[in-house]
Structure 1
Amino acid sequence: MQSRRHFIRQSAATLFAAPWVTTGMRAASPNGKLRHAAFGAAGMSMADMSAMSNHPMWELVAVCDVDTRNFANAQKKWPNIRVYQDWRELLEKEADNIDSVNVSTPDHMHGSIGLAAIAKGKHIYGQKPLAHNLWECRQMVERARAKGVMSQMGIQISSAFTERHAVALIQMGAIGKVKEAHTFSNKKWGDLEVRPAKSDPIPAGFDWDKWLGVASERSYIEKYDHPGNWRKRRDFGTGTLGDMGCHMFSGWFRSLDLAAPISVKSTGPVPNKDNWAINAVVEYTFKGTKYTAGDTVKVTWTDGDARPPAEVMALVGDVSKFPGQGTIYLGTEGVLLSPHGSTPLLYPREKFASFGAYPKLEPRDHWADFIDCCLKGDKQPSANFDYAGPLTEAVLLGCLASAFPGENLTWDAPGLKIPNNAAADKMVRRDYRKGWEIV
């Protein structure tokens, strides 16, 4: 495995070309560094800031978090930063002092904060999923393009050797034309119970109202939403599909050159009024491309204890060793198994034992890619919003479809509509709490 990884070297430019280029806004600091603000001071935001800090031309100016208990670690690492508890105040006061932001908050606030930053002309590194609902996602794409800012979604696996290797193998025809694909995750970001009817004291330093943001008012329950469990809640997160889908769909979205799905159908459990379900099964139909075997191609998502069909897993031999997360592509000339974060494998093994056409790849750092593009202004990053937006829309459509089991929902991508189901169509955009509307 290691020797094969060492083998992988090829320019990223051959795998992606941005469909548009920004106006080339440059860092305005005297030392030429990209001046940055972070929304979120812990968890994934801390990971994003730490990764960006490896770039010599990046400097952290300000951090915002609704939970002031999260500031200590950030201030220990970057003692000169200014801290805020209200993201709107940061954007207002630091507008002339920052060039870029990362939005690494719970999903329900990605759209509000991201769109406000874009409106002020800030380059944006947006965590996945790009937004919490389809309308916000489309707005992120269109407004980032109109404003001419650099953008990158936080799907760092798409810059890793492993996924880029799988993409290249599919596109060079190693397994022929792809007939179908199955993407799976054994994570269980869901909850079968409804929200408890209780209330706990709000911790000192934590602004529950600002954490709720666009969502409707409700009582605080200790450790139920914050920290950590918000992914399970429909109003705040997007379940396992929203958590892992943007990472894992990227491999086949890019390798098969897919656009918007034609339709989506859920045959798994139904979420309750508060929480996402577990063991999802979602079937997508896409228009075929030059990399697929037919006029259409189906991709199926499963999570939790749900798995691809036994006969599909058997194509790679010992089912007991089937990975917990990944994608399996069924081609006309073979099978490619792409375990999440690991080297892709070709099957049958005996057929590909002497396969020597592995591509050469150059290393690519996902965060440095964003920073370099912001500073140079000559091209978009690899997972810019024109790419990440349609990808996220496919993920969010699957989340939405889970509320309508067995129904084949058609997707009118240009119109941002689900024309064959009025109830589903109403869920394209959420209801916003008064005072927190996005305009």
Structure 2
Amino acid sequence: MKRRKFIKKTAGATVAFSIVPSYVLGKNHVPPSDTLYVASIGVGGRGAGIVRGLSSNKNVKFVALCDVDDKLAEGSYKMHPKTKKYKDFRKLYDNHINEIDAFTVGTPDHTHAVIALPFMRAKKHAYVEKPLTHNIYEARLMANVAKETGIVTQMGNQGSSSDGIREAQEWIDSGVIGTIEKVDCWTNRPVWPQGLKNINEGEPVPSHLDWDLWLGPAQNRPYHSAYLPFKWRGWWDFGTGGLGDMGCHIMETPFRTLGLGYPHEAEASCTTVWAGDFVEANYNKACPPSSIVRLKFDTEKHGQVNLNWYDGGIMPDLPDELKDGEFIGNWSGGSVFYGTKGMLVTDCYSGNPRLLPSSTMNYFKKPEPSLPRIKNGLNGHIDNWVEACLSGIKTSSPFEYAGPLTESVLMGNLAIKAFQYKVLKDGKKPTDWAPFDYPGRRKLLWDGEAMKVTNYEKANEWVTRDYRKGWEVK
């Protein structure tokens, strides 16, 4: 039951009269029944954007803020100087779980699930940044717990609230480009160092950082500035690479408009980084500088859809219908939908659909809007969650939807890891001639319902992870 309904249903006469109407106290007063009490974990970097977005909503009151890095969190802390501050989310939980209605998680990928699940099981509404989780097992678990508890959830893929993605769906549903056979998606990520050699040495831990808490479920290792801030995205133990960073934004449009569900096949090829002649710079630890991923989906309306992903400066083929000087997507990326009757191009985040060739737009009559819009579009994504917590409307990206979307994105990473994976031969050193067993490029066959790769057992180890003792996710 949402907070507003609970108060209305359970308040006696005395309590009812104690909630003074807002016009009596002044126009800026928000009564308790319309206030969402929130704790935010991970409030530096992207998390600071979450705090800023919530701070502009008059219906939100912060109970506590938490971050392992005092320096990175400084901006959020200054915005709310009187709010309780923590480094350890577990202490925040112990002290405030009965005072909050909802929580947000804006930490690195590898700690999303371990932080969110205790709060979710306590039936606190959840806003978690994209990708929803670090691995497929966690995404399935988060979606299941959200369903079991009935809480309001939202993943931080803001484009899911945009007008453009709804417009793209209306166009596709109208049949303007026919049956979709292929979608090419691309991004300019990584925009951080990626493909670095393994790090074995350490550096002094900065005084403002709790390194052990930052590691969370990842296995212990020395601190190094190559990991953070932001650069953690390029290391498999912490991040999910360019695909994990942007897939939930860019693949969002085909996933939603075509009803993709789980892929049944995944294949990848990636850049190899060399540290010397015939000596690879890394193996198994770091995400590659660039990759191509090919996913295949079975859909009810379009049959098999092939979705191809490109990152690290690699681009899909430019359509012949594209004029000289015209672009597909925007700076961050985009998609091209290939149908039996034509092509449609969308941008990252906003959707912003348009047909190719562009001259088609001169006489194309857009379908009448049939899908409900979100107030303020993608800029209203976090407010959409707040309103849902208070009044029970449906969010744009609830975990029942965001979980499968994240799983599809991370399935691409399984294919990348399968391409990268190498084993040292007979105890030889990486500098020896042909030192690795190369499994080679392979297609992974995926049983989505069973959450299992059926043709390469090693890949099933990457469906979950090896959790550090005391940080297990169950």
TM-score computed with the length of structure 1 as normaliser: 0.89
Amino acid at match of 1:307: M
Query: For the Cα contact (< 8 Å) 2:284–2:417, is it kept in 1?
Result: no
Q: Deviations over 1:177-206 (max 9, x none)?
A: 211100001212562222333221111121
Match of 2:72 among 70, 73, 93: 70
Amino acid at match of 1:63: L
Q: Distance in 2 between matches of 1:187 and 1:318?
A: 24
Q: Deviations over 1:24-54 (max 9, x none)?
A: 4558784530000111121111111211222
Query: Aligned-pair distance for 1:257?
Result: 1.3
Query: For the Cα contact (< 8 Å) 2:249–2:349, is it kept in 1?
Result: no
1:147 — aligned with what?
149
Query: Aligned-pair distance for 1:144?
Result: 1.1
Match of 2:312 among 294, 304, 308: 304
Match of 1:417 among 422, 433, 452: 452
1:346 is paired with a residue of what secondary structure? strand
Find out whether 1:195 has 2:206 as its counterpart. Answer: no
C-alpha RMSD of the superposition: 1.9
Query: Aligned-pair distance for 1:359?
Result: 4.2
1:397 is paired with a residue of what secondary structure? helix
1:54 — aligned with what?
56
Q: Distance in 2 between matches of 1:373 and 1:244?
A: 25
1:380 is paired with a residue of what secondary structure? coil
Match of 2:321 among 301, 312, 315: 315
Q: Distance in 1 between matches of 2:405 and 2:88?
A: 30
1:280 — aligned with what?
291
Q: Distance in 2 between matches of 1:164 and 1:228?
A: 31
Q: Deviations over 1:300-339 (max 9, x none)?
A: 00101211124xx333222673444100001111111112
Amino acid at match of 2:445: T
Larger mean Cα displacement after TM superposition, 268-277 or 145-154 = 268-277
Q: Deviations over 1:375-434 (max 9, x none)?
A: 113x43110001000000001110111022331111111111111110001211100111
Find out whether 1:337 has 2:372 as its counterpart. Answer: no
Q: Distance in 1 between matches of 2:193 and 2:227?
A: 12
Query: For the Cα contact (< 8 Å) 1:66–1:210, is it kept in 2?
Result: yes
Larger gyration radius, structure 1 or structure 2: 2
Query: For the Cα contact (< 8 Å) 1:169–1:359, is it kept in 2?
Result: no
Amino acid at match of 1:410: L
Query: Aligned-pair distance for 1:167?
Result: 2.3
Find out whether 1:214 has 2:220 as its counterpart. Answer: no
Query: For the Cα contact (< 8 Å) 2:186–2:334, is it kept in 1?
Result: yes
Match of 1:372 among 387, 399, 408: 387
Q: Deviations over 1:107-155 (max 9, x none)?
A: 0000101111111111000100111011111110001110111100000
Residues 48, 35 of structure 1: alpha-carbon distance in 2 compared, 3 angstrom cutoff: same
Query: Aligned-pair distance for 1:341?
Result: 4.0
Find out whether 1:357 has 2:363 as its counterpart. Answer: no
Find out whether 1:435 has 2:470 as its counterpart. Answer: yes
Q: Distance in 2 between matches of 1:321 and 1:121?
A: 46
Query: For the Cα contact (< 8 Å) 1:412–1:418, is it kept in 2?
Result: yes
Find out whether 1:124 has 2:139 as its counterpart. Answer: no
Residues 351, 206 of structure 1: alpha-carbon distance in 2 compared, 3 angstrom cutoff: closer
Residues 359, 63 of structure 1: alpha-carbon distance in 2 compared, 3 angstrom cutoff: farther
Superposition pairs of residues 165-176 of structure 1, within 5 angstroms = 165-176=167-178
Q: Deviations over 1:207-266 (max 9, x none)?
A: 0001001001111112x1121101011100000000000011110111001211111111
How many residues end up aligned between the 2 structures?
Answer: 410
TM-score computed with the length of structure 2 as normaliser: 0.82
* Structure 2: runs of 5+ lacking an equivalent: 8-30, 273-281, 420-440
1:267 is paired with a residue of what secondary structure? strand
Could you tell me the percent identity over the aligned residues? 34
Q: Distance in 2 between matches of 1:72 and 1:241?
A: 29
Q: Distance in 2 between matches of 1:145 and 1:56?
A: 28
Query: For the Cα contact (< 8 Å) 1:194–1:273, is it kept in 2?
Result: no
Query: For the Cα contact (< 8 Å) 2:44–2:74, is it kept in 1?
Result: no
Query: For the Cα contact (< 8 Å) 1:190–1:276, is it kept in 2?
Result: no
Query: For the Cα contact (< 8 Å) 1:190–1:275, is it kept in 2?
Result: no
Larger mean Cα displacement after TM superposition, 229-238 or 265-274 = 265-274
2:460 is paired with a residue of what secondary structure? helix
Query: For the Cα contact (< 8 Å) 2:203–2:223, is it kept in 1?
Result: yes
Larger mean Cα displacement after TM superposition, 168-177 or 235-244 = 168-177
* Structure 1: runs of 5+ lacking an equivalent: 1-22
1:145 is paired with a residue of what secondary structure? helix
Find out whether 1:403 has 2:417 as its counterpart. Answer: yes
2:82 — aligned with what?
80
2:417 is paired with a residue of what secondary structure? coil
Superposition pairs of residues 388-399 of structure 1, within 5 angstroms = 388-399=402-413
Query: Aligned-pair distance for 1:75?
Result: 2.7
1:383 — aligned with what?
397
Query: For the Cα contact (< 8 Å) 2:3–2:33, is it kept in 1?
Result: no
Larger mean Cα displacement after TM superposition, 190-199 or 250-259 = 190-199
2:308 is paired with a residue of what secondary structure? strand
Q: Distance in 2 between matches of 1:213 and 1:39?
A: 13
Superposition pairs of residues 187-266 of structure 1, within 5 angstroms = 187-188=189-190, 189=192, 191-222=194-225, 224-266=226-268
2:344 is paired with a residue of what secondary structure? strand
Structure with higher RCO (Cα < 8 A, 6+ apart): 1
Query: Aligned-pair distance for 1:349?
Result: 2.5
Q: Deviations over 1:276-297 (max 9, x none)?
A: 012211111100332x2xx311
Superposition pairs of residues 1-80 of structure 1, within 5 angstroms = 23-24=1-2, 26=4, 30=32, 32-80=34-82
